[in-house]
């Protein structure tokens, strides 16, 4: 399994507990943190030119990465290339251009997507989309409010609100429940878009 844009390795830590998983990221600093976690199979790589042979992986995951890449088509084309026939890709990106604001500028985003746009992107580069849904559905009104307030401040910075531990645990449980719900239905709105797709073949 390949984590494209593995960052400091939070997800890869979980993946490597149960399977042979590899991580690729453009940032040497992020990879240094990942190595401090004891992670292996790490490479510095651009998502637009992955250093792996064709048909290498049974699965690829790319969470909040494609929106950073100058050529998102090239990145998806590479994910499709390194997947084995029948291999699965899970991709998550931020939703809705009208939510664009200082937060996106600070995070160096290139774009936001609708469900239709993400589906068209994946299909145009050879993947078959099995499921696409918006995410962060229940907290979406709060996200809208926060983004509007950020636009009023006009400061290009990332804000991480501090919440009590009990509230954080409750929010995590809410997101876990939402993830299970997405497996059954496609949610009609949210601040992110998540898609599950596969490479055609056996």
Question: Per-domain residue ranges for the chain?
Answer: 46-198
Of all residues in the chain, what percent carry a pLDDT higher than 70?
97
Collapsed DSSP state (helix, strand, coil) of residue 47: coil
Residues 3 and 21: their CA atoms lie apart, in Å, by 7
Among 198, 61, 186, which Cα is nearest to 125's?
Answer: 198
Q: How confident is the model at residue 124 (pLDDT cuts 50, 70, 90)?
A: very high
pLDDT tier at 148, thresholds 50, 70, 90: confident
Return the pLDDT at 159. Answer: 63
Identify the sign of the CA torsion 199, 123, 183, 82.
positive
Q: What is the dihedral of CA 162, 164, 167, 172, to 10 degrees?
A: 60
- φ, ψ of residue 57 in degrees (nearest 5): -120, 145
> For position 151, what pLDDT does the model report?
78
180-200 pLDDT tens trace: 999 999 999 999 999 999 999
The residue ranking higher by pLDDT, 25 or 162, is: 25
Instruction: Tell me which CATH code domain 46-198 carries.
Output: 3.40.50.150
């Amino acid at each position: 399994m390949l984590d494209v844009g593995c960052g400091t390795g939070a997800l890869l830590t979980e993946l490597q507990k149960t399977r042979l998983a590899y991580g690729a990221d453009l940032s040497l600093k992020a990879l240094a943190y990942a190595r401090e976690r004891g992670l292996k199979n790490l490479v510095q790589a651009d998502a637009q030119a992955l250093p792996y042979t064709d048909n290498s992986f049974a699965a690829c995951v790319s969470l909040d990465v494609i929106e950073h890449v100058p050529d998102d088509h090239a990145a998806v084309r590479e994910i499709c290339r390194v997947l084995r026939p029948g291999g699965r890709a899970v991709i998550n990106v931020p939703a809705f251009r009208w939510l664009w604001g200082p937060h996106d500028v600070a995070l160096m985003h290139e774009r936001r997507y609708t469900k239709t746009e993400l589906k068209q992107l994946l299909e145009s580069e050879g993947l078959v989309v099995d499921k696409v849904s918006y995410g962060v559905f229940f907290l979406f009104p709060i996200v809208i409010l926060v983004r509007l307030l950020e636009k009023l401040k006009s400061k290009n910075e990332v804000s991480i609100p501090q919440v009590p531990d009990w509230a954080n645990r409750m929010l995590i449980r809410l997101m876990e429940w939402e993830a299970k719900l997405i497996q059954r239905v496609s949610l009609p709105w949210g601040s992110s878009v998540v898609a599950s797709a596969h490479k055609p073949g056996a």
